[in-house]
Amino acid sequence: MIPDNAYEPIPDSLIERRQGVREWTNLRNKFFVLRVHYTADPAKRDPKWKALQQTSYSLRAWKREYEIDWTSPEGEPVVPEFSASTHIRPLTPTRDRRLLRFWDYGFQAPVCLFVQLSPYGQLLVLRELCPFNCPLDRFIEMVFAISRDLVVRTDHFDAGDPSGNRYTELGNVVEILSQHGLVMSACRPGTEVSYAALRAKFLTSVFIPRVGQDPSILIDPVGCPNLIEALSGAFYLSPQPPYRPAKSHPYKDLVDALRYGHDNLHAATGALDEKLKKIATQDRLW
């Protein structure tokens, strides 16, 4: 990408001459550059036209094709089943309900998702924690603080990366967790199986009395902006063979934390749909 300082804008009178058109001169080769946005066409400035056109595109594809947004990745989303209109909803933590914490430890940049189960077995993703360049021991203290803010209970369910025996600059991950009294559930179903199970989760729904069918997973828009961005396409498959997920922080880490948690709930409860409902109901009556 050419840095911004490689361009020298021409006078404002020319830049603003027509809506949707930008003009400048490249400082390196002196080429005259004309950038034409779809709003240069008066007929396409109508919000109705945009709304109609967007129905044929994902948010990521729209940004690339129409908004000239080169930060939108070229590869396909790892979780294309995610839908902003379906899976995003303002959520409020239930103070006396068990907190589920889904971890991806990283090396210098661990992440954690704070989740609860509804009485009907829905995964309610309340909040994310993904600081940059944070040692694991300091990160754990932050997780504990947020947990105290969200719930009054202390019998949390923790699940994390099955490769937790690796070493960070502070030492072995499992040893660090043990020093803080953390015992992780870390089953290993296999990467492909894990991703497939998470994608399937976004396609399922649960029946709620007097409401009807509701998504099996919901994400809070204020508490989880990076996770939503990741699911919307910031976590994507490489456009080149073998089309593996791009390793970008914090997007990959957050989605991986979500799938680790989902995997371990499945392993811990056996028959997922019925057992999760039973656990959530017991929590509600606790």
CB 265 within 8 A of CB 100: yes
Is the pTM for the entire model greater than 0.85?
no
Distance CA 158, CA 180 (A): 13
Confidence of residue 7 (pLDDT cuts 50, 70, 90): very low
Across 175-179, average pLDDT: 86
Where do the domains of the chain lie, and which CATH numbers do they carry? Answer: 4-48 (no CATH), 84-285 (3.30.420.280)
Q: What is the pLDDT of residues 34-65, one digit of tens each?
A: 778 888 888 888 888 888 887 777 666 677 67
pLDDT: which is higher, 27 or 270: 27
Token pair, residue 70, equals: 């080169």
Crossing angle of the two packed helices 272-285 and 251-269, in degrees rounded to 10: 90
Confidence of residue 259 (pLDDT cuts 50, 70, 90): very high
Across 17-27, average pLDDT: 76
Supply the pLDDT for residue 171: 57
Supply the pLDDT for residue 108: 58
Q: What are phi and psi of 197, to 5 degrees?
A: -65, -40
Confidence of residue 274 (pLDDT cuts 50, 70, 90): low
Q: What is the pLDDT of residues 181-232, one digit of tens each?
A: 998 888 878 888 999 999 999 999 999 999 899 999 999 999 999 999 899 8
